[in-house]
Structure 1
Amino acid sequence: MNIGDEGAEALADGLRGNTTLKHLVLTTGSAGITSTGWAAFSRLLCDTSSINNTYRSNHSLEHIGDGYYHSSNPDGSGKLFRSCFRGIPPAVSQYLKINKEYHSLKDAAKIKIGRCHTDIPVEGLFEYKLKFVPLLVSWFVGFRTSTRKCRNCQNATIREFQRRELSTMYELIRGVPMLAVDGQLRLKSSCGRKRKFNE
């Protein structure tokens, strides 16, 4: 049916916060969706206005359109759903592919944040001093793990993510330099005390 841009926007709004629907079957050729309607789906899948909004985007929807078929699994364990992205603009299909690639919604969210936000704003963390450093480190470790799982991630993409990790940590330490230096001096002195005790 011809849902048009209005119908596309209504569907996109209705799927915000949805974590179960994977396939939205509609005929792209006769649905009457223009760039305006596809932009609503793009925002649904990856809202780039802020990191929080990207994190809260829909990471479960894997397929929009009617280009799909079932095939048997090689091990004979039933039918396997396969989809193609015929008639779907690249701005939408790239996010659908990320959602399909990852079974964990958190992994999909991390990849989208890494691709869409070149720098993590750390200015808001300065008031917490170095308390957020372990959290940032663990987040980036998880992010690296997610990237390695991705079959579509090129080495250049992985290097770009590593560059962002370094620049984020640099910005955080640059914002509270004396705390970082003081922490390093304390670490050295405690190692010295331990060495003397052992001797």
Structure 2
Amino acid sequence: MSYTVPPTRTAAVVRQLRNEIVTGELPPGTLVKDAELAARLGVSITPVREAIAQLSVEGLIDIAPNRTRHVTKVTQKNALELIDVMSVLACAGFEWGVENLTATHLDLMRQRQREFVEGLRAGNVLAAGAAGADFSTIVILASGNRELQSMVDLVVARTLRILAMGADSDLWQTWITGHEEVLALLEHGENQAAVARYKQIYVDFRVKVERELLGE
């Protein structure tokens, strides 16, 4: 994920709407109207329609047969399925990339981890989510498989939106602790143990999410 300025109006609208959906500003089931969005965002209808089409591909907006659009509704089933898919993709990329990591990579991962924690402390979920995702991105890109990273980015965005995790959510702690322990293992050259610990993050996260969705 990046903080760079989007190159087009469509990309800017995509980023804005995605952020509003991820943070819950546009709740599940919200009716999405082209003209209203265009007026609010100060753009023409065309980039709004293109953005809606993109977010539909990402699974954030549902387009009905009658062409009405709504922010995708949440179910326990699709939340857990997304976590399962994210786990398979991210863990594969992590395992493929871990042997290619250098000291520079580890320094970047430590920096992203600090930004992740600081973002949560400041209540900035979007910044924290981006930094947390970048922690894994560094390893996945080290595998050389950019197509895999593109798929991981899509699933991460959808998962964050579905869970709408606030900065104070207990769910973040699973990632904070897991990242710290993964880093410690990598810094000691224990790559395979780091891969195993990384995989365990997803197992623990899924259990916590399932309990939260069930209200336990």
**TM norm structure 1:** 0.31
Q: More helix per residue: 1 or 2? A: 2
**TM norm structure 2:** 0.29
Greater C-alpha radius of gyration: 1
- Relative contact order (C-alpha < 8 Å, sep 6+): which is higher? 2
